[in-house]
Structure 1
Amino acid sequence: MRGGLVHRLLHAAGVLHGRAHLSWWLALALLLLCLLPPLLLTAAAGTLLPGGNGMALLGDYATLSRLLLVVPLLVLAAPHADALLRNALRQLGHASLVPPRRSARLERLLQRIRRGRDSWLPELLCLLVALAPFWLAGHAVNLLPGVADWRLHGDQLTAAGRWYEWVSLPLSRLLGLLWLWRFVLWTVLLCGLPRVGLRLHAEHPDGAGGLAFLGLAQERFAILALAGGLLLAGACLNQMHWLGQTLYSLRHLLAGYVIGATALLVAPLLVLMPTLMRAKRHALFRFDALGNRAATVFDQRWQAAGSVLAGDADGSDSLLDHGDASAYADFSGVYQGLARMSAVPFNRWNLAWIAAHAALPLGPLALMAMSVDELVKKLVGILA
């Protein structure tokens, strides 16, 4: 991600210049840094492969999902997310949403966001927060009581456990916190837009006053829902495999996560609801008055057309001599679109996109709960 302490360190190291596919190389480097030493250390200690009395590293679904999937995902998704955000910011300045006399307000808001993005202090705080849990606890926490853990030998950390607690886990937390900081900056931007004084076009064909692009931009944070779903799926797989939990007993947790993650990620857009509702209300008042005049003229033309057909007209213009009917139909279409204008700058497809990202990692839990044959039989029974 551009800006901040991490970006400056990478720039100072020279890895940002002339390097194609930087995110792929960075993801591979972090993956090796986080996962390779624990693999080697557990192999030497005999806790790499499942089959013993306790949970081996390759049988720890929570750890594998975190290091093998979430860490590369957060790195690889960052460039695309930054590009999407830049396009959204560019759209704010080029879509006639801000009157010229208020463009200075928008520029001050954007400068404030850029300062937050480029500051080294927030990312330093993220690093401290990533390290804080182990420092405060002083020891690793066994999340599966009664099950021997590859990280622990008695009450002491193993060599692989020390690497995981001191390096791998803080790095994965740091990546997540950096994404959350970008989410906070985006939320601050959205909260500042109503104070800028947007000039919304209630009759805009996007059905959101010209702000539907913000819903598309919000989809970039679906990666957070996907990453959280992967972490939750790994933890639930451990619970099901080692503690005998069932998919049915976890149903409320899983459903709550999908609903909660989706609601949380779209919640910042709700700050624009009063602005959109006000624009819609004012536009309806204006169009109602204009509609009354249009209906009056149309009615006069309609009556004139009736007189012509009855043969008692004195040569006056009729509805057939003008384009009023077509204009009135066009006006009716615009008014109906205005009446359907959404009060929020997102639609059901934006919600579905984020919810799908949250729910997708939870699919393998069904395979753990039942065999593939049983799953196929149930699907055939439902569809037959």
Structure 2
Amino acid sequence: MSQSAASPQNADDLLSEFSLLGGPLQRLGRRLGLVRPGPNTLPLGIALGLVPWIVLVALAALEGDRGKFFTLSVIGGHIRLLAVIPLLFFCETTFDRQAREFLSTLLRSGVASKTTLPALRAEVRSLARWSNSWIPDATSLAATVLMFLFAAQLHLSGKTASPESGRALALMPLAGLWYWMVCLPLFRFLAFRWVWRLAFWWRFLWRLARMELHLTPTHPDGVGGLGYLEVVQNHLAPLAFAISLLVAAGFAEEMSEGASFDPIYLATAIIVIIDVVLFLGPPCFFAFKLMECRERGLRDYTVLAARYVEDFERKWFGEASPDREPLLGTPDLQSLADLGNSVGVVRNMRLAPVSIRLLAIILAAALLPMPPLFLFKYPVAEMAQKLFMKLTGL
């Protein structure tokens, strides 16, 4: 471990305080046994999605409308409760663990040195206070109530045919009322909570990028020792998938009622842009610091390389040095090659902990829910017939 790295005791104390999770809902889930040590909030997410859905199914069965309930016109409701809500909690569980691991790598590798420790500790404690505060949940609840009132006002004024998620539920008095009054507000509340989680993470990285970090220009990860941040961002892929899944479900509802297919192209492009900004933007906070590290490395290694090359040429090509040492087996040539490799690593440093692999993972998560929508425009039988004709030349 680097001499400038934090001591194991200090690192453990800091890691024990770090968390992006908390608040009244999580404390309630812990009391109910739905938040496991770790913390693992996925059981809470499954319960919050499954229990309202079971009630919704029961109410639809009482009204004798189970056939309508399991149609594409209400698929958005099923997706919200059975897929998106659990995905939100699965993502926050894995993401929080990886964010803690990122902080651990900074401390153990010495990127966050002893001089940085006081500022980092203050930031971690501030993050913990906000995460455990009632304010995020309270403001999320307030935003949910305001959105509910706004949607109800639009519905009553006749500007929308139905509040959301298809007309089939509007024809089921009991199930529809449960969905509009409980299920949809619950989903919105949980979505607003995730906005807070992202805001906490963005703020933490923004503040971290302005601390005195010990970045190494020749670090093999190509970003001075910040490479594990890419792993953290990878674990936001389920959130990108959940966003696209929700949008795809909305389009499926509309197209089941005869809406046009064409808006999907623009919506997909917008989703991709939003995901790139949300999940690839925060690592770019380190761009100026990495640029400074790269310039410093090029300056230092250029001077070192010039000194080494000058001594190398003087030793092997100077007038006073021929035949003094056997050429075969000399470490000088290997050292020259190693120095060249080090300069190459510095020159090829990335200006953000973002790679093609991370971009591909986020794009794949964002685009994966969209292809099934093409079945509305190209039915399976028709697609198979066209493919057969293309292959056979008919």
Which TM-score band (shorter chain)?
0.7 to 0.9
1:194 counterpart (209, 212, 217): 209
1:85 and 2:99 are equivalent in the alignment: yes
Instruction: Please report how far the alpha carbon of residue 46 of structure 1 lies from its aligned counterpart in structure 2 after TM superposition.
Output: 4.2
What is residue 275 of structure 2 aligned with on the other side?
261
Letter in 2 for 1:364: P
User: Residues 45 and 257 (structure 1 numbering): CA distance in 2 closer, same or farther, change over 3 Å?
Assistant: same
CA distance, structure 1, for counterparts of residue 201 and residue 344 of structure 2:
33
Aligned residues of 2:73 and 2:252 also touching (Cα < 8 A): no
- Larger CA deviation: 4-13 vs 176-185: 4-13
Instruction: Please report how far the alpha carbon of residue 86 of structure 1 lies from its aligned counterpart in structure 2 after TM superposition.
Output: 1.6
User: Residues 124 and 263 (structure 1 numbering): CA distance in 2 closer, same or farther, change over 3 Å?
Assistant: same
Aligned residues of 1:215 and 1:346 also touching (Cα < 8 A): yes
1:209 and 2:224 are equivalent in the alignment: yes
- Secondary structure at the aligned position of 2:210 is classed as helix
Aligned residues of 1:208 and 1:342 also touching (Cα < 8 A): yes
What is residue 59 of structure 1 aligned with on the other side?
73
1:363 counterpart (366, 371, 379): 371
What is residue 337 of structure 1 aligned with on the other side?
345
RMSD: 3.1
CA distance, structure 2, for counterparts of residue 23 and residue 379 of structure 1:
45
What is residue 74 of structure 1 aligned with on the other side?
88
Letter in 1 for 2:224: G
1:348 and 2:342 are equivalent in the alignment: no
What is residue 182 of structure 2 aligned with on the other side?
167
Letter in 1 for 2:140: C
String of CA shifts for 1:186-244, please: whole Å, max 9, x gaps. 11110011222111011000011111111111122222211110111011112222133
Letter in 1 for 2:366: A
CA distance, structure 1, for counterparts of residue 107 and residue 321 of structure 2:
56
Letter in 2 for 1:107: R
- Secondary structure at the aligned position of 2:115 is classed as helix
The two structures have a TM-score, normalised by structure 2, of 0.83
Instruction: Please report how far the alpha carbon of residue 126 of structure 1 lies from its aligned counterpart in structure 2 after TM superposition.
Output: 1.2
- Secondary structure at the aligned position of 2:260 is classed as coil
Letter in 1 for 2:30: H
Aligned residues of 2:218 and 2:342 also touching (Cα < 8 A): yes
What is residue 34 of structure 1 aligned with on the other side?
52
What is residue 323 of structure 1 aligned with on the other side?
331
CA distance, structure 2, for counterparts of residue 148 and residue 97 of structure 1:
52
In structure 1, the gaps of 5 or more residues are none
- Larger CA deviation: 129-138 vs 354-363: 129-138
In structure 2, the gaps of 5 or more residues are 1-19
Letter in 2 for 1:190: L
String of CA shifts for 1:267-310, please: whole Å, max 9, x gaps. 11111100000000111011111111112122223425xx7xxx
Instruction: Please report how far the alpha carbon of residue 264 of structure 1 lies from its aligned counterpart in structure 2 after TM superposition.
Output: 2.4
Aligned residues of 1:150 and 1:158 also touching (Cα < 8 A): no
CA distance, structure 1, for counterparts of residue 136 and residue 167 of structure 2:
34
CA distance, structure 2, for counterparts of residue 353 and residue 132 of structure 1:
35
- Secondary structure at the aligned position of 1:361 is classed as coil
Aligned residues of 2:107 and 2:113 also touching (Cα < 8 A): no
Aligned residues of 2:35 and 2:41 also touching (Cα < 8 A): no
